[in-house]
Structure formats: C-alpha cells, structure tokens
Structure 1
Amino acid sequence: MADTQPSTVPVPASPGPGAASLSGLAMKRRGPVAVWLGLTLITLGIYQLVWYFKIHKEIQEFDRRQDLKPGGSVLVLIFLGWTLIAPLISFRNSGRAIAEAQRAAGLPVTCSPATSMWLTFVFGLNVWYMQRQLNLVVDAYPGAAPGTSVSLAA
C-alpha cells in the first residue's frame, strides 16, 4: 500500500490543476428552428436577445478558460445594432467561442466564425447556425443534464 500511495499521489498531482480547469457545466439543448424563428417571432425579437445572453453564459460556464461577457454581448446588439459592424463582430466572436467550445468537448471544429457572421444577411440564419453548432457540443455529453459537471477533453 505504501508503494501504491506514492505512485497514486504524483498522478493526481500533475492533472490536479488541469483537472480543475478541464471541467465545466453542461449546456442546454435548444431547437435551432424554435430559437431562430418560432420564439423570436412570438416575442417580437426579445427572445433572440435572451438566447444570445444565455448561450454566452453557458459557453463561459462550460469552458471557464473563455473570457466572455454575456451582458456586454447583448448590449452590443441593443445599443450598437444600428452600426451593423458591431453586431457582425459580435456574431463572429460568438462563432469563435462556439468553435472553442467544440474543441474543448473533443469534437472536430465545424463552427466557422465567418459563417456565424455572414449568415446574418440570409434571413438571420446565423442564429439557427450557431444553435445547431452548440447542439453538437451538448450531444457530446449524452445524458448530462444542463448545469451538471462534465469533463472537457481539451
């Protein structure tokens, strides 16, 4: 047993700091069409802002290495939406955060920040696209309830 303890102690000691940073909270699976069209139309666009806040918060809780500001992201859409450039940059940064979440889940990165940005001009399909890409991360942890701890692959 004395031999087991020394060999066991170094193994947790090296991944210990990494293990703490390599876990996060599972995200919620949402229907891409409901997010993109259904709930957004019913709430006259308000749900899209709520959704944008929630996904940024969930990505940040999933991978704490990402420095996201959920409130700031929504404020950009509300107060700088008229500029057109600021929301496009925000959507691109959201696509980048989703790609990083896919990488952290051990998935091949399929989310393109440029696509997240440019699909805005195609009937606002960027919302549908980003939610589909986020659902891939959620599906990487089958059976994990939203908010439960999951381990990250990278």
Structure 2
Amino acid sequence: MAEEVQIAGSGEVGLVRNPLGVIGLTLITLGIYGIVWYYKINKELAAIGQAKGSTEAGTDPMKSVLAVTVGLLLIVPVFLSLFGTWKRLNAAEKLVGLEPGMAAVPGFLLSLLLGPVGTYFLQSNLNKALQAQSA
C-alpha cells in the first residue's frame, strides 16, 4: 500500500509508492496503470514546484500524458515528455533540498532502453523528494 504524504504548501497529496509495485501493476494492466501513474507523478512534481513558487517542476501533467499516448503516433513527443519528466524530477529534488538522484540524461536513456529499470529509479527518486519535502 502506498503511503500518503502531504505536499507542504499545497492541497495536494503525494504517494510514496513501491517502485516494483508500479512496474508490476503496469505489466498486469497491460500499460493502463502506467499511464495513470505517469499522470500522477507529473501532478505531484507540479505540486511540489507550485508549493515552492516555481514552474520548473511542471505545470500541466495532462500535457505529459497526451505526449506519451496520442503523441506516440508522432514518436518525438514521447521522447520530449519522458526527458521533460526527468528534468522536472531533478528540479523538484533541488527545490526540496536534495541532490538529484540521477541526472536527466542518464535517467532518460535508462527509461528509454530499459523501461522498467527507468521506472524504478524515477519512482524511487520521487519517493525521496516527497519524503524530504514533508520533513
């Protein structure tokens, strides 16, 4: 079960999820959970940024989801969205006082080449950011 964490300075709640659970649920639901998860993590990143008075961590999670679903037809938006999500994660980590767990370029390449491994690191680092900002 995911642990709920109040995002300080906002009305949003973030979830500290088990990274293996994210991967497993994505596989079991044939990708449906992955799309929902992608929306939720981008929403959590945006909430962290807005709580800190920054747009670096994103503003519109729906754009990210559209890029990886509908944008799949054009191919390029998927890459831009995935790289952007890693950049937003790095920005959120800095905003809460953490050193980035994995830079955007290696994280993006890991997600691109070994999807489940990239998902694991993305969720793990987001978990650390959520916990750091709530402390």
TM over 0.5: yes
Q: Does the residue aligned with 1:117 lie in a helix, a strand or coil?
A: helix
Deviation at 1:131, TM superposition (A): 0.5
CA distance 1:118–1:80, change in 2 (3 Å): same
Instruction: Please tell me whether residue 34 in structure 1 is matched to residue 28 in structure 2.
Output: no
Structure 1 CA distance for aligned equivalents of residues 77 and 116 of structure 2: 16
Structure 2 CA distance for aligned equivalents of residues 26 and 136 of structure 1: 15
Higher RCO (Cα < 8 Å, 6 or more apart)? 1
Structure 2 CA distance for aligned equivalents of residues 106 and 123 of structure 1: 27
Equivalent of residue 134 in structure 1, options 110, 126, 131: 126
Deviation at 1:123, TM superposition (A): 4.0
In structure 1, give the amino acid aligned to 2:105.
Answer: A
Alignment of 1:10-25 (within 5 A): 23-24=9-10, 25=12
Deviation at 1:62, TM superposition (A): 1.6
Q: Give the match for residue 5 of structure 2.
A: none
Q: Please give the root-mean-square deviation of Cα atoms over the aligned residues, in Å.
A: 2.0
Alignment of 1:136-151 (within 5 A): 136-141=128-133, 144=134
Please identify the structure whose Cα radius of gyration is greater.
1
Structure 2 alignment gaps of length 5 or more: 1-7
For these two proteins, the number of residue pairs brought into alignment is 121
Q: Give the match for residue 37 of structure 2.
A: 51
In structure 2, give the amino acid aligned to 1:116.
Answer: G
Identity across aligned pairs (percent)? 27
After the TM superposition, which parts of structure 1 deviate over 6 Å for at least 4 consecutive aligned residues? Answer: none
Structure 1 alignment gaps of length 5 or more: 1-21, 145-149
